Amino acid sequence: MSTNNTYMNEPDDRGRFGEFGGRFVPEALMPACLELEAAFTEAWNDTTFVDEYHTVLREFAGRPTPVTPLTRLGEHLGLRIFAKREDLAHTGSHKINNVIGQTLLTKRMGKHRVIAETGAGQHGVATATAAARLGLECTVFMGEVDTERQILNVFRMELLGSRVVPVTTGSRTLKDAVNEAMREWVTCVSDTHYCIGSVMGPHPFPWMVREFQSIIGQEAARQLLEFGVDHPDVVIACVGGGSNAAGVFAGFANSPSRLVGIEAAGGSAVGSGSPGVLHGMRSLLMQDEFGQIEEAHSISAGLDYPGIGPEHAHLAQTGRAEYYAIGDEDVIPALQLLSEMEGIIPALETAHAVAWLAREAGHAIPSGSTVLLNLSGRGDKDVAQVQAILRGQS
Amino acid sequence: MKSLERDLRALRDAGRKLLVPYFMGGVSENWTEHVEAAVLAGADAVEIGIPFSDPMMDGPVIQEAALRALSRGTTLDSICDDLVRLDVHVPLIAMTYYNIVLHYGLERSAGKLSSSGISGAIVPDLALEETEPWIAACDDTDVATVLLVAPSTPPRRVDRLVATTQGFAYASARMAVTGKSEGGGEGERVVRSIRRSSDVPALIGIGITTPDQAKQAAEVSDGVIVGSALVQTILNHASASDVESFIREFRSALDN
């Protein structure tokens, strides 16, 4: 494996990471994508904008989030484990990092409204939160199935002054919420920014969202030094579209650390997908023999996505990062393990990464290894579902 | 020049306003009879949708048609098989999404469409910057790649689009996905921007719901594409003769 500074740099001028990425959108949206690319490039090189982004993250979003040594779990598994505590960020997950960047950019572009898609509601709540803070109008598209599963998050978004539109087309989940947000964006692109929630979509979104999330990895690298760790042996994160993983990987992509992304078995684009084009990007997708996109099925709505961000597809293809899948049945025990041993109730998404860590300690992860776990979100949103599952089992 | 542009130019130069209806392939058992009825009633070319699970550029009506076609097991191959029994002598234009032809294989799908009598393809999620591999795959066939020009397209980009499009230029009347709309939209302005650099046939589509809208749009353009309004009648179980009357109304509005 090369340790040259060759990973997680800028995509090429067509927005490609290797063969993945690009821009596959209707002509009506192309001018907006080009405008956004120019605006982000300019803003990200402007210290005034970057300072404002960091100031809002510090004063409003609770950054930097700590790194916590997971001592008891480490002893139990024979590893030295550190957790990057994105669960402690405002709104309960890493999603806030991206939306603060994108909503600041929205204002800078002179637009007054944002739209967003959401699955479980985490990105929707984060977008509604940032929009309220910055005085932007906000509309969130959410599959009707998910609005029923996550009724409290719908109410949160409404409390924050946003409008939630239930999406009744297709499978009525995240993939259809993205379609509907794209369709809405065509009609209002002149005054509205589409605040995509993960490292997906047409260029520049995968790159821009990774940049806004890379603060996770940058902070973690610095914080680990304080524990005397130059770089962990393994960096682990869960992957739906892949924004928290991209953010933490970015801090270690050019170190010798192994990078491991954990997908849900029912939404495993790397494990069971093939190259294709969806939602504006060329990436790995779950699809049938005719190129029709398949529906993902996972215990966690946040991993219920049939694709993966194009940069992850590239990292998988080049072998720089490894991707494995965890089935629903291993997720609840992992959530209980972390809760009982460390006093942290993780989100179901995050519990996938914990499950792989617990399963592979002493196997794929040699005993004594130093591990950084990206604790992408807290489990408050999931406790009712977990309770129902555990009651059903007893 | 591929046959699609030659055919449309010949009709246009003879003073005819072009009427191009859209049908979703495989939406019903007798969908090819609907196509034949439309041609009998005066359609100059026909767009045939090849369904995709995630049609980003389509509104609720064509989404519903796509789902219905998919639930009947419709594929690119099954539509091409159905075309064998289609007895019409106007250009046929496929409309689908990039993943369908990408998955089938670009050269393989271009060859399959061409050998099934299709002379054009509209792939709305294939942006200008990404069209090159598809156009190259169609090079050895008679399949023309039709590009859209949107109301949001800046002038210099319009020039690049019309220099690249084949067959005709598809002028979007609205910043919207396919579906019902009121009023005239921005199609006339888009056509004027196309005309600055090219005399390629320019058709207005997206939101052409009524014969009156069609007539108005054809005053500056070479004709219109009628999609969702027609597909809605088919979802409501229109017969072939219903389709014929629907098209006749548009034909008559364009001719008078």
SS (H, E, C) chain A: CCCCCCCCCCCCCCCEECCEECCCCCHHHHHHHHHHHHHHHHHHCCHHHHHHHHHHHHHCCCCCCCEEECHHHHHHHCCEEEEEEHHHCHHHECHHHHHHHHHHHHHHCCCCEEEEEECCCHHHHHHHHHHHHHCCEEEEEEEHHHHHHCHHHHHHHHHCCCEEEEECCCCCCHHHHHHHHHHHHHHHCCCEEECCCCCCCCCCHHHHHHHHHCHHHHHHHHHHHHCCCCCCCEEEEECCCCHHHHHHHCCCCCCCCEEEEEEEHHHCHHHHCEEEEECCEEEEECECCCCCECCCCCCCHHHCCCECCHHHHHHHHHCCEEEEEECHHHHHHHHHHHHHHHCCCECHHHHHHHHHHHHHECCCECCCCEEEEEECEECHHHHHHHHHHHHHHC
Q: What is the pLDDT of residue A1?
A: 38
Facing B54 at nearest CB: one of A26, A32, A278: A278
How many Å lie between the alpha carbon of A123 and the closest alpha carbon of chain B? 21
Facing A293 at nearest CB: one of B53, B102, B154: B53
CA distance B48 to B95: 6
At B188, which CATH number?
Answer: 3.20.20.70
How many Å lie between the alpha carbon of A155 and the closest alpha carbon of chain B? 27
Nearest to A114 by CA among A102, A125, A101: A102
CA distance A384 to A394: 16
Instruction: Return residue ranges of chain A for CATH 3.40.50.1100.
Output: 16-56+95-208, 64-93+215-393
Architecture of domain A64-93+215-393: 3-Layer(aba) Sandwich (3.40)
ipTM of the complex: 0.96
Report chain B residues whose CB lies below 8 A from the CB of A169.
60, 63
The 10s digit of each residue's pLDDT in B23-52 is 999 999 999 999 999 999 999 999 999 999
Residue A25 at interface with chain B, using a CB cutoff of 8 Å: yes
Q: What is the pLDDT of residue B184?
A: 77
A295 Cβ contact partners less than 8 Å away, ≥ 6 residues apart: A171, A173, A175, A306
Q: Which residue range(s) make up the domain with B236?
A: 3-8+17-255
Q: Considering B7, B36, B47, B186, which one is annotated as catalytic?
A: B47
How many Å lie between the alpha carbon of A112 and the closest alpha carbon of chain B? 18
Residue B133 at interface with chain A, using a CB cutoff of 8 Å: no
Whether residues A26 and B56 touch (CB distance < 8 A) is answered with: yes
The 10s digit of each residue's pLDDT in B142-166 is 999 999 999 999 999 999 999 999 9
Residue B254 at interface with chain A, using a CB cutoff of 8 Å: no
Q: Give the B window 197-236 contacts with A, CB below 8 Å.
A: none
Whether residues B153 and A27 touch (CB distance < 8 A) is answered with: yes
Report chain B residues whose CB lies below 8 A from the CB of A182.
56
CB of A351 closer than 8 Å to CB of A334: yes
Q: Considering A84, A93, A95, A342, which one is annotated as catalytic?
A: A95
> Consecutive 10-residue runs of chain A (394 residues): their mean pLDDT?
66 96 96 96 98 98 98 98 98 98 98 95 97 98 91 95 94 91 94 98 98 98 98 98 98 97 95 97 98 92 92 98 97 98 97 98 98 97 93 83
Q: Is B47 one of the catalytic residues? A: yes
Closest residue in A to B56 (Cα) is A179
Residue A14 at interface with chain B, using a CB cutoff of 8 Å: yes
Determine which of B58, B72, B152 to mutate to test the interface with A (most A C-beta atoms within 10 Å): B152
- The percentage of chain B sitting over the pLDDT mark of 90, rounded to a whole number, equals 95
Residue A38 at interface with chain B, using a CB cutoff of 8 Å: no
Report chain A residues whose CB lies below 8 A from the CB of B123.
none
Determine which of B50, B52, B54 to mutate to test the interface with A (most A C-beta atoms within 10 Å): B54
**pLDDT above 70 (res B253):** yes
Report chain A residues whose CB lies below 8 A from the CB of B181.
none
CA distance A340 to A223: 25
Report chain A residues whose CB lies below 8 A from the CB of B157.
30-31
**If pLDDT is split at 50, 70 and 90, which confidence band does B15 have?**
very high
Q: Which two tokens stand for residue A73?
A: 């779990």
Report chain A residues whose CB lies below 8 A from the CB of B152.
28, 31-32, 189-190
Which CATH fold would you assign to the domain A16-56+95-208? Rossmann fold (3.40.50)
Whether residues A277 and B153 touch (CB distance < 8 A) is answered with: no
Facing A183 at nearest CB: one of B56, B126, B129: B56
Q: Is the pTM of this model over 0.95?
A: yes
Report chain B residues whose CB lies below 8 A from the CB of A36.
none
Q: Is A394 one of the catalytic residues? A: no
Q: What is the pLDDT of residue A2?
A: 39
Paired sense of beta strands A80-85 and A67-69, if any: antiparallel
Q: How many domains does chain B have?
A: 1
